[in-house]
Chains A and B, each alone.
Chain A
Amino acid sequence: MTLSNDLILKFGYVLMMITVYCHANIAIAADMRATPALLDLSIEELMKVEVITASRRSQKLSETPFAVFVITQDDIKRSGVTSIPEALRMAPGVEVTRIGTDKWAINIRGFNGRFANKLQVLMDGRSVYNPLFAGVQWEQQDTLLEDIDRIEVIRGPSAALWGANAVNGVINIITKKAADTQGTLLTAGGGSFEHAFAGARYGGKFSENTPFRIYAKGFSRANMSSLSGHSVDDAWHSARGGFRVDHQRGNDQFTAQGDLFYNSIGDTLDKTQLSAPLIQMEATRGHIEGGNIRMRWDRTFSDQSSIMLQTYYDRVDYRQLTAAQFRAESFDIDFQHRFPLFDRHDITWGTNYRLYHNKVFDSELISLNPRQQTNHLISGYARDEIALLPDRLKLTLGVRVDHNDFSGLEVQPNSRLMWTPDQKHSVWAAISRAVRTPSRAENDVLLNTRTLNSLPGTTALLPFPLLVQLAGNNHFTSEKLLAYELGYRYQWSQQASIDLTGFFNDYSQLRDLSAHALTLQTTFPVHLTLPVQINNQASGYTYGVEVSADWRPLEKWRLQGNYSFIQIHTDSNPFFKLSDASVGSAGKVTPQHQVSVRSHYDFSERLQLNLWLRYVSDISLYDIQDYVTMDGKLTYKPFKNVELFVVGQNLFSQNHREFVSDFIPSMATQVPRGVYAGAQWRF
């Protein structure tokens, strides 16, 4: 009896609290703005009100209800990495695997592959996700690394804010403002794998309110070698340049930014998979050229109220015939408005339109029908951050509705709750729905994936060679995800903090394969064709945890570590399970355990030693063993503005394997040890 009395009283109390809260809200709502409540305070009371500053808000990135990890400029510099993809190895939950000198497979929380399609990537707000083949072509995503302000790695779906295909995560690469890159910077060096590199940047001012910068960089990287030790002819030479101009006028901020690049790349096909006479091609060199221009206008009314208008144009001309030859251009316009509503709501809404035009030229491996197409994407989104209890409990509700040419209307809602009982602890939970929309290739492609001269598993020769052809499907629709996340952060002291995240991802309508009837092609060379079509019949679930910790045992010593664990289960057509690395065998291509530990030690103001230890567990589908390796960077500053450095990469073994290309059978490679040295001069 006492127990039930107790329960009833508690129930009454909860009801009462809810009512008080609701009425408080209504009363404030009637006043439209937060200030009136403050205006009734006496000046003594005002002096006790805590100030929330804009800077505090931006620090709060780590206090958001997302699994976020930020790679700072300092992290990039101390790690000695020479590219954006390599820098991403610092973040927990991200699988970065190198397929060749110029090729990477990168994804977050599983389903990795060369065309990993569940990760959205933005550079200064410009989406670099390729809607033609899906995934990100990492060799095209670069800038002067010294100009990067930070890389925000968000694990888990955040489609409501960043759009479709932000299914397993989003990576935001953000460069510095022109005002923060004033002066001249020159850097150059070279070594074993990093043959040579040079970069220059100059930052000046057109007027007091109009700073600008221009930069240029170039590098040459060595060939990787196949498992038998032969070069795969994928040396990478690159040249790139760009500018940024910012202009401040009152509460308006204008930005114009642009880049141009040229890459020379190469590839060798694995002839055991695609053999003559059906596929003649073996090794080819190719090139990519491209550029983009972006304009942005921000108007800031107050701390919580602003509008943003951004537009960009991006163009890529790609010719690497083991993969494809295509031209693509995209145009995007994005509007966003943020404003406070009543006392406790912080609302952000926006609309976006994207046009994507591309033309794919037939090659021995790939053809698309139609060759040329223009696609449109229209979306609208809204997010409301509700302070249920100021400074303590925050609820974020968001939804994005967009329409694309392939799967039509998509709705992606999410809700996130964050509880901050005190300054040191925070707990958050989220449920989100996200979709991975079909790429154009999944609708229109005809891809030669494999040739067989004998029946699989036997030595019996076939009367004619057999060509396995992957065909797109006009009825292919979006892959869906329902994700559940839970996170906890603890700030032990100014010197130590820990961040824990757990997730359960439930996928449905994943891409699967089905075989159609064999046909005999009587044109020369006479061969059998096995058409394989894609459909949406697979499903799966994944779960895992990610831990990252940051500790400064001494003023001059910082340790950062992280550990990620993931388990993947997929249910797909058993006939293709082992030959489909992207879904059917997804659980066998993702390392279950990853560990990264970085140590930054300053012996003095002039001498720094940075070490980075990594462990990645095995990838059973490709028979790739687990590996431990280390990078190190020693920096010496003989003068205040001059730096000399020596970097060792992948030090623990002469070479190790990381991944194998899927869809396009590029020769498997080994990632070599590398050493380079260089200098940097700022004035």
Chain B
Amino acid sequence: MKRIKIVLRALLFYLLVSITSFGPTTPAMAASAASEQTLIAAFLFNFLKFTEWPENSLGAELTLCTSKHPAFEELNAIGGRPAQGKPVKIKRLQLGDSTQDCQLLYLPQEEGAERIRDWLKTVNTKPVLVVSNINGFLDMGGMLVLNNDGKNLHFSVNLDMVRQSSLKLSAQLLQIAREVRGR
């Protein structure tokens, strides 16, 4: 009799846990490791959340631009998600295309230093947050660089360049940056 009770109790416990665990995955359950590309996408999404653009430069969407190659399909997961109350739009450009309606431009290191310099010229002082994961990006005149220290990703900021383009980064972002130049 007692044994049956215990079995019933165990079953009840099991059912309870089953029901309560039916909700969506909580962030705590998210993978503790991810591919670099997936992580970069998540970082870029956060940058969109914590940057302030001049009011007149914004449209109905926040546009995240990147170069066509490599394909970087991981970015698609951000497309349509809301940041600062606007849906994010992913746009893939070729060097020479207009960056007029971009809020953020991501230049993957695969582009190479030469071409990344050319890209920076096309943006100049327009209100576009330019991010890359290439080494020495801040020295090239970039605003935000993502570095892989072999284990985790972290980022550094060149505030001078951010200000020149009339952008503002949230204090929260600056607090956790590995390095902030021109503070």
A49-57, A272-280, A285-293: which lies at the interface: A49-57
- Closest A residue to B150 by CB, please name it: A51
Determine the chain B residues whose CB is within 8 A of the CB of A47 once the complex forms.
152-154, 176
Q: Are A302 and B73 in contact (CB under 8 A)?
A: yes
Complex CA–CA separation, A39 to B14 (angstroms): 31
B39, A46: Cβ atoms closer than 8 Å: yes
Among A11-19, A123-131, A520-528, the stretch in contact with B: A11-19
- The reply to whether B34 and A38 contact each other, CB–CB distance below 8 Å, is yes
Asked if B17 and A46 sit within 8 Å, CB to CB, the answer is: no
Whether B117 is near chain A, meaning CB under 8 Å from some CB there, is no
CB neighbours (8 Å) of B25 from chain A are: 24, 27-28, 37
B148 interfacial contact with A, CB 8 Å: yes
With a cutoff of 8 Å between Cβ atoms, the chain A residues found around residue B34 in the complex are 34, 38, 49-52
Nearest-neighbor residue (CB-CB) of B35 within chain A:
A303
Q: Are A391 and B176 in contact (CB under 8 A)?
A: no
* Segment 280-329 of A: residues with Cβ below 8 Å from B: 300-305
The answer to whether B10 and A12 touch across the interface, beta carbons within 8 angstroms, is yes
Contacting residues of chain B (13-44) with chain A, CB-CB under 8 angstroms: 13-14, 17-18, 21-25, 27, 29-39, 41-43
Contact B33 A390 (CB under 8 A): yes
A5 within 8 A of B: yes
| A43 in contact with B50 (CB, 8 Å) | yes
A38-B42, A250-B70, A302-B72 in contact; A16/B154 too (CB < 8 A)? no
Interface pairs A-B: 3 shortest CB-CB: A35-B77, A250-B69, A37-B30
Q: A35-B74, A301-B73, A391-B32 are in contact. Are A23 and B22 (CB under 8 A)?
A: yes
Interface residue tally for chain A (C-beta within 8 Å): 48
A to B CB contacts below 8 Å, 23 in the list: A8-B6, A12-B14, A19-B17, A23-B18, A24-B25, A24-B29, A33-B77, A34-B38, A35-B78, A38-B30, A38-B38, A38-B42, A39-B45, A39-B77, A39-B81, A40-B27, A41-B42, A51-B150, A302-B72, A303-B36, A303-B37, A343-B31, A390-B31
- Contact mask A356-400 → B, CB, 8 Å, 1/0? 000000000000000000000000000000000011000000000
> Which residues of chain A come closer than 8 Å to B183, judged between CB atoms?
none
CA distance A343 to B11 in the complex (A): 29
| Cβ-based interface call for A45 (8 A) | yes
The reply to whether A51 and B36 contact each other, CB–CB distance below 8 Å, is yes
What's the minimum C-beta distance from B178 to chain A, rounded to whole angstroms? 9
**The residue from B14, B73, B152, B154 contacting A15, defined by CB atoms under 8 A apart:** B14
Q: Which residue of B has the minimal Cβ distance to A51? A: B36
CB nearest neighbor in B for A303: B35
Contacts of B13 in A (CB 8 A): 12, 16
With A5-B6, A8-B10, A15-B14 already in contact, the answer to whether A251 and B69 are too (CB < 8 A) is yes
**Interface residue A4 (Cβ < 8 Å from any Cβ of B):** yes
Say yes or no: B24 contacts A19, CB within 8 Å. Answer: no
Interchain CA distance A277-B34 in the complex, whole Å: 73
A20 to B69 alpha-carbon distance, docked (Å): 39
Whether B125 sits at the interface, judged by CB under 8 Å, is no
Q: Which residues of A are at the interface with B, using a C-beta cutoff of 8 A?
A: 1, 4-5, 8-9, 11-12, 15-16, 19-20, 23-24, 27-28, 30, 33-53, 250-251, 300-305, 343, 390-391
Instruction: Provide the residues of chain A in CB contact with B17, threshold 8 Å.
Output: 16, 19-20
CB of B151 closer than 8 Å to a CB of A? yes
Whether A50 contacts B32 by the Cβ 8 Å rule is: yes
What is the 8 Å Cβ interface bit string for chain B, positions 139-171, against chain A (1 contact, 0 not)?
Answer: 000000000101111100000000000000000
Q: Is the CB–CB distance between B70 and A300 below 8 Å?
A: yes
Check A39/B152 contact, CB under 8 A, given A12-B13, A12-B14, A250-B68: no
In the complex, given contacts A43-B43, A390-B33, what are 12 additional A-B residue pairs having Cβ atoms less than 8 angstroms apart?
A: A20-B21, A24-B21, A27-B24, A30-B24, A35-B74, A37-B30, A39-B45, A47-B153, A49-B34, A250-B70, A300-B70, A303-B36
The answer on a CB contact under 8 Å between B36 and A48 is no
Hey, which chain B residues are within 8 Å of A51, CB to CB? 33-36, 39, 148, 150-153
Nearest A-chain residue to B29, judged by Cβ: A24
Please tell me if the beta carbons of B33 and A391 are within 8 angstroms of each other in the complex. Answer: yes
Residues of A within 8 A of B121 (CB): none
State in angstroms the CA–CA spacing of A27 and B27 once bound together. 12
Task: Name the A residues within 8 Å of B2 (CB-CB).
Answer: 1
- With beta carbons under 8 angstroms apart, the residue of A20, A53, A250, A305 that contacts B36 is A53
Please tell me if B60 contacts chain A, counting CB pairs below 8 Å.
no
**B-chain residues with CB within 8 Å of residue A15 when the two chains form the complex:** 14
Neighbour of A40 across the interface among B30, B71, B76, B173, CB < 8 A: B30
When distances are taken between beta carbons in the complex, the residues of chain A under 8 Å from B10 are 8-9, 11-12
* A35, A45, A50, A251, most chain B CB atoms within 10 A: A35
Contact of A34 among B31, B45, B46, B153 (CB under 8 A): B31
- CB < 8 Å: which of B23, B37, B172 contacts A27? B23
Q: Which residues of B contact A41 (CB under 8 A)?
A: 27, 30, 42
